[in-house]
Structure 1
Amino acid sequence: MARTPNEYIVHLLFDGGHREEVRFHTIQEFQKWYSGEFVPKSTSDEFISVPVPKINPGEYMVIRPSRLLAIRVEPVFSSSVERY
């Protein structure tokens, strides 16, 4: 039986070496943001919003898509056994 990730961590690498990490509950949430917000403005210097967890309701993040060099999507599997 295939395992299903509990969440996805999206690593964003910007020019200048700055890195950010954003979490999505499903891959579909990431794909919706990526294809709906990011791709249409990928060469733009205008800010776009990046969804952040609802943990801190007043928190938000905006990025300039033209400054984003790489995106890495990492599935995270939770289990009853912790591994270090």
Structure 2
Amino acid sequence: MPRSASEYAVHLFIEGGHREEVRFPTVQEFQKWYSGELVPKADSSEFISVPIKNIQGEYMVIRPRSVLAIRVEPVFSSSVERY
């Protein structure tokens, strides 16, 4: 039985060598943000919001054209597989 991820860590590699990590509860939530916010404005230098759902009172904005790469990593809350 395959394990399912507890959440997904999304690593944003930004121009100038900066790296940021945000977490999404499901890969579908990430895909929704990616295809709905980031892709349509990929060449824009206007700020867009990056959802930070697990940190209350904080927010992040980025310029879409400054995002050089994205890595999506599944995070498992348990290292023990249960059958």
Q: So what's the TM-score if we normalise by structure 2?
A: 0.91
> Which residue number corresponds to residue 76 of structure 1?
75
1:78 CA displacement: 1.6
| 2:32 paired residue number | 32
Q: In structure 2, the residue corresponding to 1:8 is in which secondary structure?
A: strand
In the other structure, the counterpart of 1:10 is 10
Q: How far apart are the structure 2 equivalents of 1:79 and 1:35?
A: 30
TM-score (structure 1 length as normaliser) = 0.90
Structure 2: where are the runs of 5+ without partners? none
Equivalent residues of 2:23, 2:54 under 8 A apart: no
Which digits, 9 at most, give the CA deviation of each residue in 1:19-62, with x for residues without a partner?
00000000010000000000000110010000002432x21100
Structure 1 unmatched runs, 5+: none
- Root-mean-square deviation (CA, aligned residues, Å) is 1.1
Structure 1 segments of 4+ aligned residues over 6 angstroms from their partners: none
Structure 2 letter corresponding to 1:59: E
Which amino acid is 1:64 matched to?
Answer: R
Identity of aligned residues (%): 74
Aligned-partner SS, 2:40: helix
